[in-house]
Amino acid sequence: MGLRVSTVGWGVAVVALGCLLAGRRFGWLELAAIGAALTAVLLVSLLMTVGRSRYAITLDMADRRVKVGERALGRLEVRNIARRRSLPSRVELPVGAVTAEFSVPALGAGAEHDDLFAIPTARRAVIIVGPVRSVRGDPFGLARRSVRWTRPVELFVHPLLVSLAGASSGLLRDLEGQATRDLSDSDLSFHALRDYVAGDDRRYIHWRTTARRGSLMVKQFEDTRRTQTAIALATDPRDYADDDEFELAVSVVGSVGVQTIRDERELAVLAGPGTLRVETPPLLLDDCSGLQLSSSGAGMALLGRRVAREAPEASVAMLVTGSEPTNTDLRLGSRYVPVGTRTVVVRCERGADVSVRTHGSLSLATLGSLDDLPRLLRRVTA
């Protein structure tokens, strides 16, 4: 609850005071009359803010998660909980940077009034809806008194996605684990035999070879690991030609991330100042909704370093950026990815044809449309 005098109201007060003082000092009755009239108007405006409607207001969003282009539907219910009839009033509902106004008619005791509304979603964002406020004030906008009735609600506008079912199975595979070059004394993948050393587990003694050679020989294995996918997104505005390229990059991150979670594979998404939540697809997309370009964000040159620092065990790394970095920049940015990690650099360039160039464990890919992402992944794994 709060009383606020507008800038115009303060201006009226200053002019009224000035007219009254000048009229009294110089004996100008006209100025004194103007000052008195303005003072009366200001007092009436303040009196119109007195009193309080007794409402129970409910803000109900049909869905707090929508995709870009969908309309978010909601309902505003106002109920008069006073014992007598209420006067007509106004209710304000902030939606992001704009404020919607609803007229509430006179309500009898216990009567209700409903208003349905729709919020258009043209771009990905996190929109704060509310809090709902009832407003009392004068028609001139000199003073107003507002009462807050609800808490703000977050509306998540998720990025556009494309289905990758089947398209990513070759790249994001996780059968019985992937063999590494690290050797271990116990695992699933047999590698070789070696001489027994004091302290070795006797369960791994290879008795047939031991009998043939006359000395104890034990099995040595290759370490296997579950496939962990690390996705790193550039958020430096210098990496992108325009905002549409960044939206395409976020959609790539969301599409690959959601498919990875659905395939029950380990995932780390490095974007913005930290890592995104990957427990469920909705949580990942909620965080994707809030991603923004920032002058302090990581560019392509830092993505490889970030993967090495925050996801060193990743077996697959996908670095996503815009069209501004050159091929040399892409290679330099990816060289810090840990050795042995399959690396895919996706450069988003609106309208460009799909292209993939693979050099060893590094693939440089160009994507011009989100619909082409399944085809790009198939070409990467071909």
**252 and 344 belong to one structural domain:** yes
User: Is 167 a member of any domain?
Assistant: no
Residue type (1 letter), 330: L
User: Is 168 a member of any domain?
Assistant: no
**249 and 304 belong to one structural domain:** yes
**234 and 370 belong to one structural domain:** yes
**141 and 261 belong to one structural domain:** no
User: Is 301 a member of any domain?
Assistant: yes
**What is the pairing mode between strands 342-348 and 362-367?**
parallel
| Angstrom distances, CA of residue 131 to CA of 84, 107, 134 | 26, 22, 10
**117 and 21 belong to one structural domain:** no
| Three-state secondary structure call for residue 378 | helix
**235 and 374 belong to one structural domain:** yes
b/e code 213-250 from CB counts within 10 Å (16+ = b)? eeeebbbbbbbbbebbbbbbbbbbbebbeeeebbbbbb
The two three-digit tokens of residue 333, written as one number: 């940015």
The pLDDT value given to residue 1: 56
Q: Are 259 and 231 in contact, with CB atoms under 8 Å apart?
A: no
Domain stop point among 208, 225, 242: 225
The pLDDT value given to residue 134: 81
The pLDDT value given to residue 159: 96
The CA-based angle 63-65-69, given to 5 degrees, is 100
Hey, how many other C-beta atoms are within 10 angstroms of the C-beta on 146?
19
User: Is 12 a member of any domain?
Assistant: yes
- What's the rounded Cα separation, in Å, for the pair 362 and 354? 17
The pLDDT value given to residue 221: 59
The pLDDT value given to residue 246: 96
Give the structural domain span for 84: 55-158
**133 and 196 belong to one structural domain:** no
User: Is 281 a member of any domain?
Assistant: yes
Q: Cis omega (within 30 of 0) on the bond before 152? A: no
Count of structural domains within the chain = 4
**237 and 373 belong to one structural domain:** yes
- What's the rounded Cα separation, in Å, for the pair 100 and 94? 6
Domain stop point among 205, 225, 245: 225
Hey, how many other C-beta atoms are within 10 angstroms of the C-beta on 80?
21
Q: Which residues contact 22 (CB under 8 A, 6 or more apart)?
A: 28, 31, 35
**59 and 147 belong to one structural domain:** yes
Domain stop point among 168, 193, 225: 225
- What's the rounded Cα separation, in Å, for the pair 222 and 45? 82
- What's the rounded Cα separation, in Å, for the pair 73 and 116? 7
The CA-based angle 245-247-249, given to 5 degrees, is 70
User: Is 202 a member of any domain?
Assistant: yes
The pLDDT value given to residue 29: 82
Q: Which residues contact 203 (CB under 8 A, 6 or more apart)?
A: none
User: Is 139 a member of any domain?
Assistant: yes
**16 and 93 belong to one structural domain:** no
Q: Which residues of the chain have pLDDT under 50?
A: 174-191, 223-224
pLDDT digits 0-9 by tens, 260-291: 998 888 899 999 888 999 999 999 999 999 99
The pLDDT value given to residue 243: 94
Burial (CB count within 10 angstroms: exposed 0-12, middle 13-18, buried 19+), residue 95: middle
User: Is 287 a member of any domain?
Assistant: yes
**314 and 365 belong to one structural domain:** yes
List the CATH number of the domain containing 279. 3.40.50.410
**214 and 236 belong to one structural domain:** no
